[in-house]
Amino acid sequence: MTSLPRDWHPESRAVHPPVVPVTGSRPLGVPIHQGHVFAFDDPDALAGAFADPTGAFLYGRLGNPTVRTLEQAVAELEGGAAALAAASGMGAINSVLLGLLRSGDHVIAQRSLYGGTMAMLGDLAERWGVEITYVGGDDAEEVRAALRPRTRLLYLETVSNPMTRISDLPALTAVAREAGVISVVDNTFATPLLCRPLEHGADVVVHSATKYLGGHSDVLGGVAVFASAELHAKVWHHACELGASADPFTAWLTLRGLQTLALRVRRHCDNALALATRLAAHPAVAAVHYPGLPTHPDHALAGRLLDGGYGGILAFEHVGGRAAGQAFAGAVRLASLAPSLGGVHTLVIHPASTSHRQLDDAQLHAAGIGAGTIRVTVGIEHPDDLWADLEQALGQSG
């Protein structure tokens, strides 16, 4: 322990606690560096940090050791050159969109994106003059036909919500690459355990770390991973200006979640496949949407793209339509009625009365969602208990 000068007054001693050095051993848990500012012993080193804030820790919005550990951990998992951690998934997504686009640019985006991303793209179109063309996630020729001279970015999600359609990443990103267009893929649903979009031609991967990476419904965070250091630098500058950076405690909680990600994802996948199989045989279920079932339209593509499981999210159609779907959602006991996903708890939601409530039955149909669709984001509880709960809720809502 470094001792303080003997002649310092209590007021000074209180502000400068002695720092306990760790030598000869190291903490196995990542330390939380909660401070937002870093002091320097050498004026030249401080001047150097101002000149290149990526070279040393200077100010929390520009970098922090705990946050940097998370960035490097997720960059490693996704196979990227560098990453930036943000205060939420939307913070990461907005940093990427605002960091790479300018007025007059054109974006090709998948039709079924997460609502917050759709809203942001709508804002970019209305207020900033960015033009957007929406496409499906499976037709490379549709993407080719949508290309324009000002097309700057292709935006996809690995797995769509809530119908679990799989994007044909290799085919779609190949068209973008040929045209010099940057591909961005939201990999939140798949996680880097099941799919690494950079290996399939993407340039940027974004995550809501709020979901599987954090994994316990107790943290809000986001990460963007970049195939090249140049792309990272461009977006990082913008994220710092935006003030989107993750705080150290967010990074610490996410790092703690990451340590069990592989175990949790395995269990989410096993549970989801077990429930999907049982739901498919239940008389109150008209259809089950889960990429692990051979009946799913993207089953073969999922087999090629997803590595070691088909994800933890499924949807099913209640035969009783809207009223029965809503009744089912209110009848679950072990599962919770809640939005979000990716935590250890199983959650159910009835999109027609919640996230997609503004759509009538015809509009829902056009969006590929049924009036009686239920989304189940499967947790890590025992599969027999989960099935007993879904079965009793189906019985009560039939």
Please provide the DSSP assignment of 32-97 as one string: ----SB---S-HHHHHHHHH-TTSS--BTTT--HHHHHHHHHHHHHHT-SEEEEESSHHHHHHHHH
Nearer to ligand PLP, 164 or 210 (CB): 210
Binding window for ligand PLP (CB under 6 A); candidates: 124-132, 145-153, 182-190, 356-364: 182-190
Cβ atoms 145, 177 nearer than 8 A: no
The residue number with the shortest CB distance to ligand PLP is 89
Residue 78 structure tokens: 């996704």
Query: Does the active-site annotation cover 61?
Result: yes
Nearer to ligand PLP, 63 or 214 (CB): 214
Q: In Å, what is the CA distance from 336 to each residue of 49, 117, 324, 386?
A: 48, 25, 17, 11
Binding test (CB under 6 A) with ligand PLP, winner from 66, 88, 173, 217: 88
Positions 128 through 157 that interact with ligand PLP (CB under 6 A): 157
Catalytic residue (choose from 59, 61, 138, 270): 61
**Interface with ligand PLP includes 220 (CB under 6 A)?**
yes
Binding test (CB under 6 A) with ligand PLP, winner from 186, 203, 247, 298: 186
Q: Is 5 exposed, middle or buried (0-12, 13-18, 19+ CB in 10 A)?
A: exposed
**Interface with ligand PLP includes 89 (CB under 6 A)?**
yes
Task: Output the smallest distance, CB 332 to ligand PLP, in A.
Answer: 20
Task: Output the smallest distance, CB 94 to ligand PLP, in A.
Answer: 9
What single-letter amino acid sits at 117? T
The verdict on whether omega for the bond into residue 27 sits within 30 degrees of 0, i.e. cis, is no
Query: Does the active-site annotation cover 186?
Result: yes
Torsion of CA 93, 94, 100, 106, to 10 degrees: 90
Binding test (CB under 6 A) with ligand PLP, winner from 222, 291, 311, 372: 222
Catalytic residue (choose from 105, 168, 186, 389): 186
Nearer to ligand PLP, 98 or 324 (CB): 98
**Interface with ligand PLP includes 160 (CB under 6 A)?**
no
Residues 6 or more apart in contact with residue 48 via CB below 8 angstroms: 55, 56
Task: Output the smallest distance, CB 88 to ligand PLP, in A.
Answer: 3
Query: Does the active-site annotation cover 211?
Result: yes
Cβ atoms 224, 95 nearer than 8 A: yes
Binding test (CB under 6 A) with ligand PLP, winner from 69, 183, 191, 210: 210
Nearer to ligand PLP, 88 or 164 (CB): 88
Task: Output the smallest distance, CB 83 to ligand PLP, in A.
Answer: 15
Catalytic residue (choose from 165, 211, 264, 375): 211
Which residues in the chain belong to E strands, given as ranges? 82-86, 106-110, 131-135, 151-157, 182-186, 204-208, 222-226, 285-289, 313-318, 336-337, 347-349, 373-377
Give the count of beta carbons closer than 10 Å to the beta carbon of residue 34. Answer: 12
**Interface with ligand PLP includes 383 (CB under 6 A)?**
no
Nearer to ligand PLP, 377 or 397 (CB): 377
**Interface with ligand PLP includes 312 (CB under 6 A)?**
no
Q: Is 349 exposed, middle or buried (0-12, 13-18, 19+ CB in 10 A)?
A: buried
Binding test (CB under 6 A) with ligand PLP, winner from 64, 188, 271, 397: 188
Binding test (CB under 6 A) with ligand PLP, winner from 66, 69, 164, 208: 208
The string over 109-140, giving b where at least 16 C-beta atoms fall within 10 Å of a residue's C-beta and e elsewhere, is: bbebbbeebbebbeebeeeeebebbbbbbbeb
Q: Could you list the active site residues?
A: 61, 114, 186, 211
Q: Which residues bind ligand PLP (CB under 6 A)?
A: 88-90, 114, 116, 157, 186, 188-189, 208, 210, 220, 222, 340
